Amino acid sequence: MLTGQEAPGSLEDVRTLLNSWLIPNDTRVAEDRFESYAERCELPERQHDVVRRLRDDLRSVVEGPDTADAGLNAWVDRLDVRPSVEEGRLGFRHQAGPAGELLVTVLTAIASGQWSRLKACPDCRWAFYDHTRNGSKRWCLMTAGGPDGRSCGSIAKVRAYRDRTQGG
């Protein structure tokens, strides 16, 4: 089901990985669904640990971009991702398997300006791609109808209204 939150191209693979950890609307308890993700993607067992750690670090980068540079540079070094020129275009080479491909996707998205549009909802922490013209989308959705019936934007605005009117 398309929700309008999908990222363009292979960046959607990164968004899908990020959302293998989530806070479901019904329980509000964080769930790690990495094993299900790994099975769907046919990720080799020997890659599970590194891809899971990459996911957790990428979530930290998306949720708190203040630490983005150091965290991403550490992964570039750890996975030995190197720039290369191929047919007059900049690309990347590595020997790091699926984790390296995911990191290359992130680096390519940074270069194209798309990375900053991959965001995490401050309420449910669902990762979404901001398709708005000015890139100012803050919540996963404003109305119930998205993943698991989320409407975090509406909930946040109601909460803020109540705080303003009842708090003082």
| pTM for the structure as a whole | 0.83
Q: Which CATH number do you get for residue 110?
A: 1.10.3300
Q: What is the pLDDT of residue 7?
A: 93
What's the number of domains the chain is made of? Answer: 1
72 pLDDT above the threshold of 80: yes
The dihedral through the CA atoms of 144, 147, 148, 153 has a sign that is negative
Which DSSP helix (H) or strand (E) runs through 22?
Answer: strand 21-22
Range of the domain at 126: 11-166
> Residue 5 domain-assigned?
no
Q: What is the pLDDT of residue 144?
A: 47
Distance CA 81, CA 79 (A): 6
115: helix, strand or coil: helix
Q: Which of 13, 5, 9, 6 is nearest to 101 (CA)?
A: 13
Contact (Cβ atoms closer than 8 angstroms) between residue 33 and residue 20: yes
* pLDDT tens profile 82-134: 999 999 999 999 999 999 999 999 999 999 999 999 999 888 888 999 999 89
- The DSSP letter of residue 129 is E
